[in-house]
């Protein structure tokens, strides 16, 4: 994997956030929120590289990506390394009297392609031009190769009593429990409501991503989304001279590689 830089769009979004914070705080030294300040003093745990795999609209799955899968009781598959923590989380959730249902897990490339093509076809049928349909489809279904579900580390979990993927999902007792406890089992709520510009994905109060227990707790304590966390980790490792290679590249690099 070649050493690459962080997505330009993420940096741009961070810069916008920083200047907004400066405007609000008046000076460049505006005090950071308590949790962030405390985390900044402690080194950020990095976890193992596979746990930190970043897949988003600017970072496709690494070339030749493979994963060893385990099959869940409902027939869906996940990276076998996350099974123990996933089972522990679901068991605890059920013990709390709740009924979580996994409605999506690992997706192979062919499935993602089918979902994406179907979305475009439905939009075309609804009257969109080909160009407009492609643009609109990308807002709802990840372009094949850029869905986190292709890693085997992401899951959509809903309440048995409300299996609709919309904002109301956050009101279910299952989501409330998962949002409070997922961190303890190594999962993060991957697309929070206030980070869409950075993640490239709208608020999804059902999509959980495995990053390992230490990292999950650190992400929660920092108040950062995964992209921001990796950025902070990269800065820390650069300072310490322990920088690892995480698959991150800028839009330009991605375009160059694709051409
Ligand atoms: Zn999902």
Give the pLDDT confidence of 106-117 residue by residue, as tens digits: 999 999 999 999
pLDDT tier at 243 (50, 70, 90 boundaries)? confident
* CATH classification at residue 22: 3.30.1380.10
Cα–ligand 1 centroid distance for 76 (angstroms): 13
Point out the domain boundary residue: 123, 145, 167: 145
Point out the domain boundary residue: 96, 123, 145: 145
Cα–ligand 1 centroid distance for 165 (angstroms): 9
pLDDT digits (tens, 9 = 90+) for 82-135: 999 999 999 999 999 999 999 999 999 999 999 999 999 999 999 999 999 998
For residue 182, the tally of other CB atoms under 10 A from its CB is 23
Active site residue 204: yes
Residue 3 falls inside a structural domain: no
pLDDT at residue 215, rounded to an integer: 97
Share of the chain above pLDDT 70, in %: 78
More confidently predicted of 175 and 17: 175
Indicate whether 72 pLDDT > 60.
Answer: yes
H helices within the chain, ranges in order? 8-25, 34-41, 83-95, 109-125, 130-140, 173-181, 196-199, 213-222, 226-240, 251-258
pLDDT tier at 164 (50, 70, 90 boundaries)? very high
Q: Is the pTM of this model over 0.85?
A: no
Identified catalytic residue from 148, 204, 228, 234:
204
Same domain, 49 and 176: yes
Same domain, 81 and 136: no
In this prediction, residues 18-44 reach a mean pLDDT of 50
pLDDT at residue 248, rounded to an integer: 58
Domains in the chain: how many in total?
2
Q: What is the residue range of 131's domain?
A: 111-145
Same domain, 73 and 127: no
Cα–ligand 1 centroid distance for 45 (angstroms): 25
Residue 70 falls inside a structural domain: yes
Order across the sheet with 154-159: list the strands: 100-104, 154-159, 207-210, 187-189
Same domain, 34 and 70: yes
CA 222 to chain centre: 16
Same domain, 77 and 115: no
Cα–ligand 1 centroid distance for 128 (angstroms): 25
């Amino acid at each position: 994997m070649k050493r690459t830089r962080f997505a330009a769009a993420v940096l741009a979004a961070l810069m916008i956030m920083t200047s907004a914070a400066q405007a609000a705080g008046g000076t460049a030294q505006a005090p950071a929120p308590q949790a962030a300040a405390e985390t900044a003093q402690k080194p950020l745990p990095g976890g193992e590289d596979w746990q930190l795999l970043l897949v988003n609209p600017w970072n496709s799955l690494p070339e030749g990506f493979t994963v060893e899968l385990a099959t869940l009781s409902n027939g869906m598959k996940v990276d076998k390394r996350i099974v123990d923590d996933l089972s522990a989380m679901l068991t605890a959730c059920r013990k709390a009297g709740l009924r979580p249902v996994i409605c999506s897990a690992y997706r192979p490339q062919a499935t993602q392609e089918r979902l994406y093509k179907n979305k475009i076809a439905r939009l075309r049928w609804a009257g969109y031009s080909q160009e407009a349909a492609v643009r609109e489809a990308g807002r709802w279904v990840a372009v094949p190769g850029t869905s986190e579900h292709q890693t085997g580390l992401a899951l959509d979990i809903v309440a048995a009593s409300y299996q609709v993927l919309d904002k109301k999902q956050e009101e279910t007792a299952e989501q409330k429990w998962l949002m409070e406890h997922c961190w303890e089992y190594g999962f993060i709520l991957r697309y929070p409501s206030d980070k869409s510009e950075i993640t490239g994905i709208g608020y999804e109060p059902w999509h959980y991503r495995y990053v390992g227990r230490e990292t999950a707790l650190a992400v929660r304590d920092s108040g950062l989304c995964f992209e921001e966390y990796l950025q902070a980790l990269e800065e820390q490792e650069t300072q310490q001279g322990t920088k690892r290679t995480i698959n991150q590249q800028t839009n330009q690099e991605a375009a160059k590689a694709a051409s």
